[in-house]
Structure formats: C-alpha cells, structure tokens
C-alpha cells in the first residue's frame, strides 16, 4: 500500500526544529516530507528507510537527525551538477543559496527552479506585489522559504505553503510547528508576528510553473516576474 501524502495547512501542527540553529533545515525537511510520501512515512514511523538514512528511534529523533544532514548539505562547499555552493558557518544558520540548492535537488517537485529575492529594502507597495506573486507560484510541492527578523538583521526561517490564492498564505513556523495564515497586509507592513519576528528579509521562491509579468520589481525578482509561455 502506497504511503499517504503528507499535508500541512492553516491550523495544523508539524514537526518542531530540534535545535536553535536549524529553523532553515527544519523547513527544508518538512518541504521534502510534503513532496516525498516515502520520506514522510520514514520520519513518522521509521519504515521505508533509504540507504544512508540517519538513525532515530522516534519521529522527533529521526527529524532531528535529518535536520543535521540538511544543515551540513546547505552549508558546505560543493561543486556538482547543481553548480557551486559557497560554504557558510553552521552557527549562523542556513544561507539562502544553500536553501535554494536543497529545494532544487529534491525538497520540491522535480524540475522546479528557485530564485532568491531580497525583500528588506522594498516599499510596502512592492512587498504587496511580491506577496501576490507568491500566492500565484507557491503550490503543492513548490513551497517557498521566508527569512524574517528585526529591522536590522534576519533571525528566523519560515516555510510558505499554498494559501487561498488571493489574500492569504499559510506559513509553517518550525519554532513551534504551527501553521498560521498571514495576510498581504501583515507581510507588506512588517507585522508578521511569527516567533516574535515581523520583518521579511529574503524569500527563496519558485519561479513557476507559469508566471505572469508584473514588471521587474528588483534585479533578484526578475525571473519570478517573467512570462513563461510553456503550457500549464
């Protein structure tokens, strides 16, 4: 019998990050659970372990062990078919480029490309447009990572899940495992209120499957705003 697909939506509770350095790794592990039912089953039950899977005698232990696998992978120097991954100190958390690489190499639907978008300097009107684009491109199997923090620095990573396609996105917070809906207003006005952080800094966002031009909002946003003429 095939394993049941893992899903998270507003009001659900998912796994919690297992260290104070692994909010990004937790989000990426949950992203993989959402796209890979066999992997999600292994986290939940210990069944279906693939070669090289870390050990763990409970869901929390397996989740914690895989967080560390992801953290090493996103922060190490690597050069392969996915390109160059620049190293980053693990005590500083997960770098956006490492998160992008992890999503493109299996934590999202196969073939999905991601871009890193700098949000901190953008005005409210532009942030509202970014939110609208995220609502259009974030779908099942193609989540986004949102880096949030204070006015002066990024401090936490969240996983953006599909919302209502209009004025709401569902956001998984690895600090407590909660999934909460957030509106375009809270995003644009720096009032997210997630784990005590309000200010969006970066988003690692899928570029498709089909984008509609809203104009180039920033250099990093260009590919997300491109027209993709390929069929849905």
Residues in the chain: 232
Q: What would the mean pLDDT of 184-205 be, rounded to a whole number?
A: 95
What pLDDT, on the 0 to 100 scale, is given for residue 1? 66
Query: What's the rounded Cα separation, in Å, for the pair 173 and 53?
Result: 25
pTM for this model (two decimals): 0.87
For residue 163, is pLDDT > 50? yes
Q: Is 94 exposed, middle or buried (0-12, 13-18, 19+ CB in 10 A)?
A: buried
Over the stretch 27-59, which tens digit does the pLDDT of each residue have?
999 999 999 999 999 999 999 998 889 999 999
37-45 and 59-75 are packed helices; what angle lies between their axes, rounded to 10 degrees?
Answer: 130
Quick one: what percent of the chain has pLDDT higher than 70? 89
Domain annotation for the chain: domains and CATH numbers: 23-107 (no CATH), 114-225 (3.90.70)
């Amino acid at each position: 019998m095939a394993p049941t697909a893992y899903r998270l939506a507003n009001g659900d509770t998912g796994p919690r990050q297992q260290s104070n350095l692994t909010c990004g790794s937790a989000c990426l592990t949950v992203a993989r659970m959402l796209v890979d039912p066999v992997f999600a089953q292994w986290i939940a039950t210990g069944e279906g372990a693939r070669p090289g899977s870390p050990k763990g005698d409970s869901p929390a232990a397996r989740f914690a062990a895989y967080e560390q696998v992801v953290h090493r992978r996103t922060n190490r120097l690597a050069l392969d078919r996915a390109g160059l991954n620049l190293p980053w100190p693990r005590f500083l958390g997960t770098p956006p480029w490492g998160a992008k690489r992890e999503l493109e190499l299996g934590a999202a639907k196969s073939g999905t490309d991601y871009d890193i978008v700098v949000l901190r300097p953008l005005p409210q009107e532009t942030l509202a447009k970014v939110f609208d684009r995220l609502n259009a491109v974030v779908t099942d199997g193609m989540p986004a990572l949102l880096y949030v923090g204070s006015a002066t620095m990024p401090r936490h990573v969240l996983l953006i899940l599909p919302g209502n396609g209009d004025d709401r996105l569902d956001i998984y917070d690895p600090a407590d495992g909660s999934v909460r809906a957030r509106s375009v207003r809270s995003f644009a006005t720096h009032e997210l209120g997630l784990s005590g952080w309000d200010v969006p800094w970066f988003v690692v966002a899928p570029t498709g499957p089909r984008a509609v031009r809203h104009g180039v909002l920033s250099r990093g946003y260009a590919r997300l705003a491109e027209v993709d003429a390929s069929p849905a």
